[in-house]
Amino acid sequence: MQQQVIQQFSYVCLNDEKTLERYDKAITINGLVKNRNRHEKDDRQGGNDAGRYVMGWNNERKKRRSLRTGIN
Protein backbone atom coordinates (compact mmCIF):
# COMPACT_ATOMS: atom_id res chain seq x y z
CA MET A 1 0.00 0.00 0.00
CA GLN A 2 2.86 2.39 0.79
CA GLN A 3 4.24 2.01 -2.75
CA GLN A 4 0.81 2.63 -4.24
CA VAL A 5 0.42 5.85 -2.25
CA ILE A 6 3.91 6.97 -3.27
CA GLN A 7 3.21 6.28 -6.95
CA GLN A 8 -0.23 7.89 -7.05
CA PHE A 9 0.33 10.88 -4.77
CA SER A 10 4.00 11.85 -5.10
CA TYR A 11 3.35 15.47 -6.04
CA VAL A 12 5.88 18.25 -5.63
CA CYS A 13 4.35 21.15 -3.68
CA LEU A 14 5.00 24.58 -5.18
CA ASN A 15 4.23 28.14 -4.11
CA ASP A 16 3.28 29.20 -7.67
CA GLU A 17 3.14 27.91 -11.22
CA LYS A 18 6.45 29.43 -12.37
CA THR A 19 8.37 26.15 -12.02
CA LEU A 20 5.49 23.80 -12.78
CA GLU A 21 6.95 22.71 -16.13
CA ARG A 22 9.98 21.19 -14.38
CA TYR A 23 7.94 18.40 -12.78
CA ASP A 24 5.74 15.55 -14.02
CA LYS A 25 3.48 15.75 -10.96
CA ALA A 26 3.09 18.96 -8.98
CA ILE A 27 0.50 21.02 -7.13
CA THR A 28 0.48 24.72 -6.30
CA ILE A 29 -0.81 26.34 -3.15
CA ASN A 30 -3.58 27.89 -5.29
CA GLY A 31 -4.92 24.50 -6.40
CA LEU A 32 -3.33 24.07 -9.83
CA VAL A 33 -2.49 20.39 -10.30
CA LYS A 34 -0.17 19.02 -12.97
CA ASN A 35 -0.26 15.30 -13.65
CA ARG A 36 2.24 14.77 -16.45
CA ASN A 37 0.68 16.54 -19.48
CA ARG A 38 -2.67 17.39 -17.90
CA HIS A 39 -3.32 20.51 -15.80
CA GLU A 40 -6.38 20.94 -13.57
CA LYS A 41 -7.46 23.89 -11.45
CA ASP A 42 -9.67 23.50 -8.39
CA ASP A 43 -11.53 26.80 -7.92
CA ARG A 44 -13.95 25.61 -5.27
CA GLN A 45 -14.42 27.88 -2.26
CA GLY A 46 -12.15 27.05 0.69
CA GLY A 47 -9.87 24.72 -1.26
CA ASN A 48 -6.93 25.53 1.01
CA ASP A 49 -8.91 25.03 4.23
CA ALA A 50 -7.23 22.18 6.11
CA GLY A 51 -10.46 21.60 8.01
CA ARG A 52 -12.00 20.13 4.86
CA TYR A 53 -9.45 17.31 4.58
CA VAL A 54 -8.44 14.34 6.71
CA MET A 55 -4.95 12.90 6.38
CA GLY A 56 -4.91 9.21 7.19
CA TRP A 57 -7.78 7.12 8.45
CA ASN A 58 -8.76 8.73 11.76
CA ASN A 59 -11.03 11.78 11.69
CA GLU A 60 -11.77 11.98 15.44
CA ARG A 61 -9.90 15.28 15.94
CA LYS A 62 -11.75 16.82 13.02
CA LYS A 63 -15.11 15.65 14.40
CA ARG A 64 -14.35 17.06 17.88
CA ARG A 65 -13.27 20.40 16.38
CA SER A 66 -16.44 20.53 14.29
CA LEU A 67 -18.59 19.87 17.33
CA ARG A 68 -16.79 22.61 19.31
CA THR A 69 -17.20 25.19 16.54
CA GLY A 70 -20.69 24.13 15.50
CA ILE A 71 -19.65 23.16 11.96
CA ASN A 72 -21.40 20.15 10.41
State mean pLDDT over 5-16: 83
Residue 51: pLDDT over 70 = no
Return the pLDDT at 29. 83
pTM for the complete prediction? 0.53
In the chain, what's the furthest Cα-to-Cα distance? Answer: 43
Please give the Cα distance from 53 to 55 (Å, whole number).
Answer: 7
pLDDT tens profile 14-41 = 998 899 889 999 988 888 888 887 777 7
Q: State the pLDDT at residue 23.
A: 92
Of 11, 14, 37, nearest to 25 by C-alpha is 11
DSSP three-state, residue 59 = coil
DSSP 36: T
Residue 54: per-residue pLDDT: 59
